[in-house]
Structure formats: C-alpha cells, structure tokens
C-alpha cells in the first residue's frame, strides 16, 4: 500500500492509500494547502477490486455518479456507484471504520485517477457526520471583511459561483472565497464555523480559511438587487436540501438535526435576488451589514 497525505480540511487530515495498480492523483494538494490538523486522520483506501453487492441492502438510488446507497451487514454505509468509469464498470465505497476509514473498490485501477477526488469528497462528507462533527454543505462560502462567513447554499447552476466571484471582486482583499461549491459546517464550543474545502466549481476559488457562520443567503437570479429575510419555516427545507444527510443512521441523523438547529439559530437567512453585474457583491455586503445593525 502506498500512502499520500492529502490536505487537512476542517481540521481533518486526509490520507489516501492505494494498492499497486491505482495511481494516486495529488490534485487535491496542487493548489490547496489545507490548514492545521486537530482531529484524527481520515483514511481513504483506493483498491483495484471488482465491486461486489454481496451482503448489501439497497436503501435509495440516485442518478450516476451517486448510485445506490446501501447498508452492509454491519449496518454501515456502502455506496454502489452503478456505471462511472470509461469502461462502464461500477465502483463501490465501503465503510471500514465509520468516520475514520473508507475503502473504494474500482473494477479498473485507472478509473481512480479521475474519480478519487469525488470519492474523497464523499468520504469526507460522511466522516463529518460519522464523527458527529458537522456537515458538508453544497454551498458557496465567503468570508466577509468583518470575519463572519456568508453561506450561499444551492444546487449546481443557481449562481453560487457567480455571487462568490462578485463578492471577491467588489470587496477586494477583505473578502475570501472559502469555496464556491462545498463548505464544511462544524460546531466548535457552541460556535458554528464554516470551513473552506478544496472542492470548488471548475473556475472557482477555494481557501483553507474559516470563520463563524454569519448569514445564509439563498440566491435568485434577476432584477435589481433585493434582500428579503426568510422565515425559519422557509429557510429550513431549503437548507436541508443542500446538506449531505446521513439518512442511513438514526443516531447520525439525530446529531445532524441538532447541528441544523444550531445553524438556523446562529445565522439569519435571506433570499437575495440580483442580476450578476459588478457592484452586486458590494450591494449585498452593505445590505447584510444594515440588517445586522437593525
């Protein structure tokens, strides 16, 4: 087994391991240097082995590459990704030790080159909930000049990256894009902190910074800039949609809902509609500051 140290994300050092036929791609380290480690490492083992469904109970299926989420005989998470490599062969994520060690089985070792980043993100998300630390959000996170982080959750295409880029452009060095696609939300001593991750959109930015969660903004395209407070009953389901939910485990889900309560109480939620033009980022930062002052 060869070993490659990955970045440290939200205090968790990633360590990739591989057998002889799997090439470990250091792409996660290339532009992203991680941050200080405070937690035990997360080991992700990439193995060339025919993925097997034996002993797995299917829970729910999603379109590729997510595949079928399953439970193994020990009641632990497994994901059978039906058709993902170039030869149409499946891949499998198995839990070795919940929150700490996962194994990826590739029918063809070379598929690991392309897919290991995806599996690292998936394993990291499940390690966060598996350890009860927090949750990975499909969201952009931008640290604003005051230090607080603005979280913009949403599916691909809603304009997370555009808004993150506008905020960075308009606010200059006082703002930092932690990621325009995936943000780790971790509760530390009762404070909800948003951490940057290396997982960003194709043209996006990412940084290993962090800050307390200050506000949540759901983005809508169109019209002059407008910021509308969202009541909890509207914000909660929107936020839930953007979180990697551990729906195979009652205990993990109960912990996650506790975190969600902290998130929703920690940060006011808004809907921000805007046309993507220079100045929209500045407008939003000023409007959020005015809301805070009020």
The yes or no reply on residue 250 touching other proteins (CB under 8 A) is yes
In this chain, which of 37, 57, 191, 290 binds other proteins, going by CB under 8 A?
57
From 18-26, 110-118, 159-167, 259-267, give the range in contact with other proteins by CB under 8 A: 259-267
Selected from 189, 237, 293, 294, the binder of other proteins by CB under 8 A is 237
Tell me: does residue 71 bind other proteins (CB under 8 A): yes
Q: Is 72 in the site for other proteins (CB under 8 A)?
A: no
By the 8 A CB rule, do 123 and 102 touch?
Answer: yes
H/E/C letters for each residue in 203-242? CCCECCCEEEEEEEEEEEECCCCEEEECCHHHHHHHHHHC
Query: What is the DSSP track for the chain?
Result: -EEEEEEEETTEEEEEEE-TTPPP-THHHHS-------S--EEEEEEE-----TT-EEEEEETTTTEEEEE-TTS-EEEEE-S-STT---EEEEEEETTTEEEEEESSTTHHHHHHHHHHHHHHHHHHHHTTSEEEEEEEEEE-TTSPEEEEE--TTSSHHHHHHHHHHHHGGG-EEEESSEEEEEEETTEEEEE--S---TT--B-S-EEEEEEEEEEEESSS-EEEE--HHHHHHHHHHTB---TT-HHHHHHHHHHHHHHHHHS-EEEEEE---TTHHHHHHHHHHHHHH-
Q: Which of 5, 27, 260, 287: binder of other proteins (CB under 8 A)?
A: 260
Of 110, 253, 276, 287, the one binding other proteins (CB under 8 A) is 253
Nearer to other proteins, 33 or 232 (CB): 232
Q: Does 63 bind other proteins (CB under 8 A)?
A: no
Taking CB under 8 A as the criterion, the residue among 225, 245, 276, 287 binding other proteins is 245
For residue 265, state whether it binds other proteins (rule: CB under 8 A): yes
Least distance CB 234 / other proteins (angstroms): 9
Nearer to other proteins, 1 or 257 (CB): 257
* Member of 174, 247, 289, 292 binding other proteins (CB under 8 A): 247
Among residues 236 and 273, whose Cβ is nearest to other proteins?
236
Q: Which of 95, 197, 201, 249 binds other proteins (CB under 8 A)?
A: 249
Stretch that binds other proteins, among 43-51, 147-155, 203-211, 252-260 (CB under 8 A): 252-260
At its nearest, how many Å lie between other proteins and the CB of residue 195? 22
Sites of contact with other proteins (CB under 8 A): 57, 59-60, 69, 71, 232-233, 236-237, 240, 245, 247-250, 253-254, 257-258, 260-261, 264-265
């Amino acid at each position: 087994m060869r070993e490659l140290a990955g970045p440290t994300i939200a205090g968790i050092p990633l360590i990739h391991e591989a057998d002889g036929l799997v090439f470990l791609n250091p792409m996660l380290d290339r532009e992203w240097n991680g941050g200080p480690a405070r937690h035990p490492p997360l080991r992700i083992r990439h193995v060339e082995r025919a993925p097997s469904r034996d002993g797995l109970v299917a829970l729910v299926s999603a379109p590729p590459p997510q595949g079928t989420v399953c439970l193994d005989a020990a009641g632990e998470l497994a994901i059978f990704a039906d058709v993902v490599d170039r030869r149409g062969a499946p891949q499998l994520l198995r839990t070795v030790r919940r929150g700490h060690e996962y194994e990826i089985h590739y029918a063809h070792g070379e598929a690991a080159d392309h897919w290991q980043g995806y599996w690292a993100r998936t394993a990291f998300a499940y390690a966060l909930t598996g350890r009860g630390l927090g949750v990975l959000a499909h969201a952009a996170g931008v640290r604003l000049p005051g230090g607080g982080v603005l979280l913009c959750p949403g599916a691909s295409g809603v304009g997370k990256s555009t808004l993150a880029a506008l905020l960075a452009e308009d606010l200059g060095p006082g703002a930092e894009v932690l990621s325009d696609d995936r943000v780790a939300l971790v509760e530390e001593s009762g404070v909800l902190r948003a951490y940057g991750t290396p997982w960003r959109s194709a043209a996006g930015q990412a940084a290993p910074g962090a800050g307390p969660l200050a506000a949540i903004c759901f983005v809508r395209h169109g019209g002059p800039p407008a910021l509308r407070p969202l009541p909890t009953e509207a914000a909660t389901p929107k936020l839930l949609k953007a979180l990697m939910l551990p729906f195979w485990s009652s205990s993990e889900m109960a912990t996650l809902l506790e975190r969600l309560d902290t998130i929703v109480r920690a940060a006011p939620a808004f809907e921000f509609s805007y046309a993507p033009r220079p100045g929209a980022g500045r407008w939003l930062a000023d409007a959020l500051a005015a809301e805070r002052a009020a």
